[in-house]
Amino acid sequence: MPREVVTVQVGQCGNQMGSKFWDVLLQEHLTHPEFEEARDALFYRTRDGGYKVPGGDSLCARCVAIDMEEGVLSAMVRGPIGGLFDRTHFVSDVSGAGNNWAVGNIEYGERYLEVISNSVQTMVERCDSIQTFLVMHSLSGGTGSGLGTRVVGMLKDEFPHVFRFCPVVMPSETDNVVTSPYNSCFALKELIEHSDCVIPLDNDSLTAMADRSLKREKGSTDGSRPQDDATVAPTDRAFRVAQPTKNKNLPFDSMNAIVAQMLSNLTCSMRFPGALNMDINEVTTNLVPYPSLLLLTSAIAPLSIGKSTLKGARHTDEIFAECYEGSHQLVRLPDAGKRHTTLACSFIARGADWTIGDISRNVARAKTKLNMIHWNQEGFKTSLCGVSPLGHPHSLLVLSNNCAIGEKVKTMQDKFMTLYRNKSYVHHYSTYIEEKFFDDTMECLSCVVEDYHLLNTSEPPTHVPRTMRDLVAF
């Protein structure tokens, strides 16, 4: 019996990410109909509506979609896979949160939290043994950051024993939302307090990865026309779910395709068989040593958002080597593995031609490449799924709890303080929250930055990190 994952998508960014994610999952399961029962982990069967698949079944996504503007949700329903989504599990308004975390968290939270809770409860009741909530949203806007983190808090209160994974998009270095520093830091504080695992995704990294992948695929010499969107199956499959996006000015489809590729690998072991299957909750168990140090960096190889340009099987060692390169990392952290301490690391491999020996050999090499924390020199979790991803014979996802992420948090904190010292835009939030919340946010993030900095050394720490002190006191 599979254990289920319920996805909660919040805001424009979260729903666009989620839409691409479901598209990739549907393609994978249509390509591998022999694993019919395994797809129940993320889809449920229905007699009313749903997406018709060969064999007579109708599928719906285990998904609750939330946005305070109707545009993206309407586009999801009108799209080629619109039948996957049950509109009774859509929650929307018309005005949006105006890029204000407090409006999304307080105003819309109070107005819609009960409706959202009921929708999630109904979706959970359709599960036999729910395993995880996957909550997708951005950090910089209003609905995603504000209402998204309010939902994470609600999930912790009402379903305390169900793990909460949060893939979240961090703002660009040159974000055009002036209140983004406030929104991002408020949201990150709430995630640190209420989620079990956060997988930050860097907008700048995603943009660069999408550009490189598109250029490489357009330069393919195989005579085929490269695809612009990963919603089209990267190989000549029997099923083609969606069509390429024609708007070249918006790279979001390509960026979301990379995120979908990462999330597909994250969930592959619970959907398909393999020699080393891994429960998705084991990521938290093995990679989060302290409750507040839950920010996991990710890297994936090979990188492709359209038609595969690979002529043959890549050597598995090459795949591992690529994941150590900055060009394959979904968060920009230069030389993270060499200059910074790694607390724990996970390798999730896919492909029929991988062997346990390939994994063991490269884990041994990783021990020489990564600066592992002194008390967790063997902190490697591995998984091997026997079903290849779309378009490639094999792939690898690397998740790492690396102290370099503390520098990213420090950058967000500095931008926050630049605004807050001058009380800029504070009046937009003061209707909903007290100024003490600004100070509490800075204190929370300062503790995280300090603890990552403390652990970023090869020598044993001279005192216990604050995140551990709380446990000792408890």
pLDDT at 303: 80
pTM here?
A: 0.88
Joined together, the tokens standing for residue 472 give 């000792």
**470 and 139 in contact (C-beta within 8 Å)?**
no
Instruction: Render each residue's pLDDT in the chain as its tens digit; 474 residues.
Output: 568 999 999 999 999 999 999 999 999 999 998 888 888 999 999 988 899 988 778 999 999 999 999 899 999 999 999 999 999 999 999 888 889 999 999 999 999 999 999 999 999 999 999 999 999 999 998 999 999 999 999 999 999 999 999 999 998 887 788 999 999 999 999 999 999 999 999 988 998 888 887 776 665 534 333 333 333 333 333 333 333 333 444 458 889 999 999 999 999 988 998 888 888 899 999 999 999 999 999 999 988 665 444 444 458 889 999 998 888 999 988 666 567 899 999 999 999 888 899 999 999 999 998 999 999 999 999 999 999 888 888 899 999 999 999 999 999 999 999 999 999 999 999 999 999 999 999 999 999 999 999 998 655 545 555 555 554 443
Token output for 248? 């070249």
- Domains, the chain, ranges and CATH? 4-195 (3.40.50.1440), 298-404 (3.30.1330.20), 407-473 (1.10.287)
pLDDT of residue 445: 96
The identity of residue 12, as a single letter, is: Q
pLDDT of residue 466: 58
pLDDT value at position 456? 86
Q: What is the pLDDT of residue 159?
A: 97
Residue 472: its pLDDT value, please? 43
So what's the pLDDT on residue 314?
59
Instruction: Please tell me the predicted confidence (pLDDT) of residue 141.
Output: 87
- What pLDDT does residue 336 have? 62
List Cα–Cα distances, 296 to 163, 185, 330, 346, 347, in angstroms. 15, 17, 10, 10, 13
